[in-house]
């Protein structure tokens, strides 16, 4: 087995890595890499370092590091050969996400003496619970909002809402623009809560196709806090997905230790569908 490190993948290698991820997803029932890490395979602007494992010149494993955490995956027919462990060491023994928290990842974590530092829940809303959600009026989409500094306003609210968050906070305009530079992005699916001073909050939605929608990001700026605006903002997005985008299932991601948010979602009818965990060395 040979592991090679790349600061930027060629088109051929990026395509091979994506194909491997598709095979893993079909086998495991969960995507092995998150959206940002998948984008990083062929977008050097994200600055990811990649580690590819080859056996008999065949790609059998993929690892990537974004400067804070890593993600890795191994081809199903090449598991139990030490490839995952070798990739983890090549990545620098950094905190690493395991999507789905599947038995194979649990076994690797145990063998390496790792512990779970974060749990990210995937919650879903379907059926009667989805049908019964009532929405709020008065929101305006990014496509409709005419303020010349709309992007700056949106960025300010995002950074106020997520000043504590390792991935979503501390953005600049370039980072916000990059996040919109995806095949699925639609300005009709970014809803703003506004007043005479501009944007107070936003609900960014994602449509995956095949009847699946996602509450991608919900954020309230400082001047919107403590006014009971989070719940109607959340409901408006759900209703938009159901009535305008005709989805049959809505998912969201939430930190396991954010119990107020988990409880609020449960009260709307969301249920836990899966979890992702961040493994790290014991401290």
Answer yes or no: is 260 a known binding residue: yes
Answer yes or no: is 262 a known binding residue: yes
Answer yes or no: is 248 a known binding residue: no
E-assigned strand segments in 75-211: 96-99, 114-126, 140-141, 190-195, 198-209
Answer yes or no: is 10 a known binding residue: no
Answer yes or no: is 103 a known binding residue: no
Pull the structure tokens for residue 86. 């070798």
- CA-angle at 25, arms to 206 and 101, nearest 5°: 90
Answer yes or no: is 68 a known binding residue: no
Three-class secondary structure of residue 281 per DSSP: strand
Answer yes or no: is 182 a known binding residue: no
Answer yes or no: is 58 a known binding residue: no
Answer yes or no: is 227 a known binding residue: yes
Q: CA dist 262 to 227, 240, 255, Å?
A: 19, 21, 8
Answer yes or no: is 230 a known binding residue: yes
Answer yes or no: is 266 a known binding residue: no
Pull the structure tokens for residue 264. 């609020």
Distance CA 62, CA 37 (A): 11
Q: Return the number of other C-beta atoms located less than 10 Å from residue 140's C-beta.
A: 15
Answer yes or no: is 206 a known binding residue: yes
Answer yes or no: is 159 a known binding residue: no
Answer yes or no: is 73 a known binding residue: yes
Answer yes or no: is 267 a known binding residue: no
Answer yes or no: is 225 a known binding residue: yes
Answer yes or no: is 101 a known binding residue: no
Answer yes or no: is 211 a known binding residue: no
Answer yes or no: is 177 a known binding residue: no
Helices (H), 29-113: 35-40, 83-90, 103-111
Answer yes or no: is 250 a known binding residue: no
Answer yes or no: is 258 a known binding residue: yes
Answer yes or no: is 239 a known binding residue: no
Binding-site members for acetyl-CoA are 72-74, 218-220, 225-231, 258-263
Binding-site members are 35, 72-74, 167, 206, 214, 218-220, 225-231, 253, 258-263
């Amino acid at each position: 087995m040979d592991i090679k490190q790349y600061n930027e993948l060629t088109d051929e290698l990026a395509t091979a890595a994506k194909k491997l991820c598709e095979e893993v997803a079909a086998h495991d029932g969960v995507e092995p890499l998150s959206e940002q890490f998948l984008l990083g395979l062929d977008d050097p602007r994200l600055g990811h370092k990649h580690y590819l494992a080859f056996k008999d010149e065949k790609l059998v494993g993929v690892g990537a590091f974004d400067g804070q955490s890593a993600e890795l995956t191994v081809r199903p027919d090449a598991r139990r050969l030490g490839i995952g462990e070798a990739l983890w060491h090549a990545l620098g023994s950094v905190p690493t996400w395991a999507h789905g928290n599947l038995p194979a990842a649990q076994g690797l974590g145990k063998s390496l003496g790792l512990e779970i530092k974060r749990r990210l829940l995937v919650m879903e809303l379907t059926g009667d619970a989805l049908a019964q959600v009532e929405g709020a009026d008065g929101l305006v989409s990014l496509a409709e909002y005419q303020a010349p500094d709309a992007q700056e306003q949106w960025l300010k609210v995002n950074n106020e809402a997520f000043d504590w968050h390792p991935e979503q906070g501390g953005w600049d305009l370039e980072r916000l623009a990059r996040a919109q530079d995806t095949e699925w992005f639609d300005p009709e699916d970014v809803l703003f809560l506004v007043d005479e001073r501009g944007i107070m909050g936003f609900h960014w939605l994602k449509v995956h196709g095949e009847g699946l929608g996602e509450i991608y990001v919900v954020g309230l700026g400082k001047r919107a806090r403590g006014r009971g605006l989070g719940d109607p903002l959340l409901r408006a997005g759900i209703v938009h997905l159901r009535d305008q985008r005709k989805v049959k299932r809505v998912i969201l991601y939430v930190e396991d230790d954010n119990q107020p948010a988990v409880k609020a979602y449960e009260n709307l009818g969301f249920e836990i569908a899966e979890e992702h965990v961040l493994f790290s060395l014991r401290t």
